[in-house]
Amino acid sequence: MLVEFSLQTDREGFYDISSYAAKTAAEFYRIEGKGDAECLVYCPHTTAGITINENADSDVIHDMLLGLSKAFPDRAEFRHGEGNSHAHLKASCVGSSVRVIVRDGKLLLGTWQGIYFCEFDGPRQRRYFIQIH
Amino acid sequence: MLVEFSLQTDREGFYDISSYAAKTAAEFYRIEGKGDAECLVYCPHTTAGITINENADSDVIHDMLLGLSKAFPDRAEFRHGEGNSHAHLKASCVGSSVRVIVRDGKLLLGTWQGIYFCEFDGPRQRRYFIQIH
Amino acid sequence: MLVEFSLQTDREGFYDISSYAAKTAAEFYRIEGKGDAECLVYCPHTTAGITINENADSDVIHDMLLGLSKAFPDRAEFRHGEGNSHAHLKASCVGSSVRVIVRDGKLLLGTWQGIYFCEFDGPRQRRYFIQIH
């Protein structure tokens, strides 16, 4: 099962999309009845990514965006005319997709884990895919 | 096939869990007889991760922990009260899971590759999942 | 379906291998006729990796290599005798594999996305695997 989602982002931010993955996994189980499955969340953009991290204290997200900007700042030596090479770097650092194990229609996320769409070069209209199989 | 493992970690460290993945892949093949399979190693924590890297010289692990701490240091501007935002950053940098191809019950790892559970905020009792299918 | 590829690299560089993944996905569909599939691109080396990023302006690749070298420089405190710990760090940062959704034999890459083999410690003869299933 493959479902496409879209979202409107700010300049940068982490957007918790766990509930959409959970709903898709439950729907897959209702239709297919397959107990042992996998969920792939995929970002088709090059200045955004997907990661799994803390879902409780939003200060963690603030700190992660800050820490990524310090590790991958804009640099005078960069050549790319759009001026968003730092965002391309962050996208490859967090990665373009995550996988979560699915059991009987439920995501096997840890207690404090959420799935995030990571915007590094917004605001933009973005999309992502959730595939269960 | 899905198996859960646990381990007791130190403050930080890379723990080679390749042999557990290899045993799970061999067991899967013995039971299912499926030649072309995949192994997912998944970490359900947000200040630890999973990576694949050098399995021969332990100095590489020393250097990687050092290099990650330099790229993602603790910062005065961080807001998260637990003081472990650097560990959350490292977790998203290495990622929460890895995939390895399985052929006839054997992991298709490169000569120098090992699978590591990466602790960035221990000591803790941790767990991880190995799924073959 | 599992196919092995090889390439000769320079000291460092990103090599666009999207067309090989696309051909393998099309071949899989021709033989198996399975509409909903997945592509795994896997690197069996520890100082190289696989990432998905911009396929249009080569300046982005220049900037990414530069940004990774700034985030993970060689350091006097490193112990590993081969002197390539920075390359091991970059390999774990970008990761050893990527996944792409396959529909009817076509990779569901975004408009600006390409799949890259990332060399961080060449020149070397390297290989990688593409698995579709």
The average pLDDT across B80-107 equals: 97
What is the rounded distance in angstroms from the CA atom of residue A18 to the CA atom of residue A115? 5
Q: Which residues of C touch A129 (CB under 8 A)?
A: 101, 108
- Contact check, Cβ <8 Å, B133/A36: yes
- Asked if the C-beta of A108 comes within 8 angstroms of chain B's C-beta atoms, the answer is yes
Q: What is the pLDDT of residues C35-58, one digit of tens each?
A: 999 999 999 999 999 999 999 999
The average pLDDT across B104-114 equals: 97
* Predicted ipTM > 0.90: yes
- Asked if the C-beta of A23 comes within 8 angstroms of chain B's C-beta atoms, the answer is no
Q: What is the pLDDT of residue C16?
A: 98
- Contact check, Cβ <8 Å, C113/A97: no
Q: What is the pLDDT of residue C108?
A: 97
- Asked if the C-beta of A132 comes within 8 angstroms of chain B's C-beta atoms, the answer is no
Average pLDDT score, chain B: 97
What is the enclosing helix (H) or strand (E) of C116? strand C113-119
Per-residue tokens: C128: 């990688």
Burial A76-102 (b: 16+ CB within 10 A, else e): eebebeeebbbbbbbbbbbbbbbbbbb
Q: Which of B51, B67, B98 sits opposite C75 (nearest CB)?
A: B67
- Contact check, Cβ <8 Å, A113/B96: yes
Q: Which of B1, B2, B44 sits opposite A113 (nearest CB)?
A: B44
Q: List chains adjacent to chain C, taking adjacency as at least 3 C-beta pairs closer than 8 Å.
A: A, B
What is the rounded distance in angstroms from the CA atom of residue A113 to the CA atom of residue A91? 19
Q: Which of A60, A99, A103 sits opposite B80 (nearest CB)?
A: A60
Q: β-strand A36-42 against A97-103: which pairing, if any?
A: antiparallel
Q: Which residues of C touch A43 (CB under 8 A)?
A: 110
What is the rounded distance in angstroms from the CA atom of residue B54 to the CA atom of residue B38? 21
Q: What is the pLDDT of residues B34-56, one digit of tens each?
A: 999 999 999 999 999 999 999 99
Q: List chains adjacent to chain B, taking adjacency as at least 3 C-beta pairs closer than 8 Å.
A: A, C
- Asked if the C-beta of B16 comes within 8 angstroms of chain C's C-beta atoms, the answer is no
**Integer CA distances (angstroms), C32 to B101, C1, C28, C102, C113, in order:** 19, 9, 6, 13, 26
Interface of B with C in 69-88 (CB under 8 A): 70-71
In a mutagenesis test of the A interface, which of B1, B5, B6, B89 is the best target, namely the one with the most A β-carbons within 10 Å? B89
- The C-alpha of A125 sits at a distance from chain B's nearest C-alpha, in angstroms, of 24
- The CATH number of domain A2-132, selected from 3.30.420.40, 3.30.470.10, 2.160.10.10, 2.60.120.460: 2.60.120.460
Query: Looking up tokens 């769409």, which residue turns up?
Result: A117
Residues 6+ apart with CB under 8 A from C47: C84, C87, C88, C90, C91, C120, C121
Q: What is the pLDDT of residues A47-57, one digit of tens each?
A: 999 999 999 99
Q: Which of C44, C72, C99 sits opposite B71 (nearest CB)?
A: C72
- Asked if the C-beta of B48 comes within 8 angstroms of chain C's C-beta atoms, the answer is no
Secondary structure letter of residue B17 according to DSSP? -
Secondary structure letter of residue A50 according to DSSP? E
Average pLDDT score, chain A: 97
Domain edges within chain C: 2-132
What is the rounded distance in angstroms from the CA atom of residue B124 to the CA atom of residue B126? 6
